Chains A and B, each alone.
Chain A
């Protein structure tokens, strides 16, 4: 897994991000230039889908999963699109780590957790540095604080802390219980642990439709079709360049 960790560090380096800062996917999307849709599907359905076609990259995230899981899935899909060789398309159920029988899916999970939640960042933000030397001394409030700083799911955070030998398997099993109540008690927002159900597209797709229409490259019929096919409503000439809310998808 050292190779995967190196890939995660290298991608951060490529994005001029130190290993201490939390990932901001909105900025990353603009730098790496991928097309992204958030849409709610069944809670027990897939986590995300990635597709590489020609030189363009596309991701769909199931927004009925928790925000922490969605962030984790985005990191996972970045592995497929920017690290994995000869990748074309994949439907992903993320966060299974070692239990995943598919090698690339497993790598993508480990990539994501190292990309989102790097060792250096964890070490920097831990208040009491002695917990770094003594297994199972890090407490739950500190873990919750770390996962809220880096925007990672509780499960993924625990996997990483276990990998760093900060918690044992026994402690992992105790800590993995639902923590929303604890989070409330500590005064953190619970958004990381709840679904967002967002229905939104982040892409210059709309700008392309509008430009093609203004330049008379597409008919009015085609113009409307390009909106409706993605579940979008053609605007009353009220244009939005990047973010566009989906309706009736």
Chain B
């Protein structure tokens, strides 16, 4: 039980850290994953668990590997985050940021594995 709480704490803390590094508000990210802002706050404050499928969606949005959510010391990692400059972030926009991040990382990984071969 103690271990579960520690994990919930780490994940919640990291979600908050990466969200803030990306300049997204709690409300914007909550809309993106179809929950209320209150629920989002519970997750960040380790009062509620988060499903793995939702973490996967957040990793695309924040453009980080999913394992980063589980790491205890992520402050250095978060320094390399490149946030999207925008003055308006509706749900469509966040969906598209997530899509373009996924597109780019898949593309680069494919290039990498095909280049390794040559």
B107 CB contact (under 8 Å) in A42, A205, A218: A205
Residue B88 interfacial (CB < 8 Å): yes
Residue A180 interfacial (CB < 8 Å): no
Residue B83 interfacial (CB < 8 Å): yes
Tell me the count of chain B residues lying within 8 A, CB to CB, of chain A.
Answer: 29
Tell whether A45 pairs with B92 under 8 Å between CB atoms, given A53-B108, A54-B108. yes
Main secondary structure of the interface of A (DSSP, over half): mixed
CB distance from B28 to the nearest CB of A (A): 12
CB distance from A40 to the nearest CB of B (A): 10
CA distance A155 to B77 in the complex (A): 43
A56 CB contact (under 8 Å) in B88, B89, B107, B113: B107
Residue B103 interfacial (CB < 8 Å): yes
A-B contact number at CB 8 A: 98
Contact (Cβ within 8 A) B110 A89? no
Shortest Cβ-Cβ A-B pairs, 5 listed: A91-B86, A208-B110, A88-B82, A41-B92, A45-B92
Complex A-B: 29 CB contacts under 8 Å: A35-B107, A37-B103, A39-B99, A42-B90, A42-B92, A45-B92, A46-B96, A49-B96, A53-B108, A58-B100, A60-B99, A88-B82, A89-B85, A90-B84, A90-B85, A90-B86, A91-B86, A91-B93, A93-B88, A102-B87, A205-B110, A208-B114, A209-B110, A211-B114, A215-B117, A217-B114, A229-B102, A229-B106, A231-B99
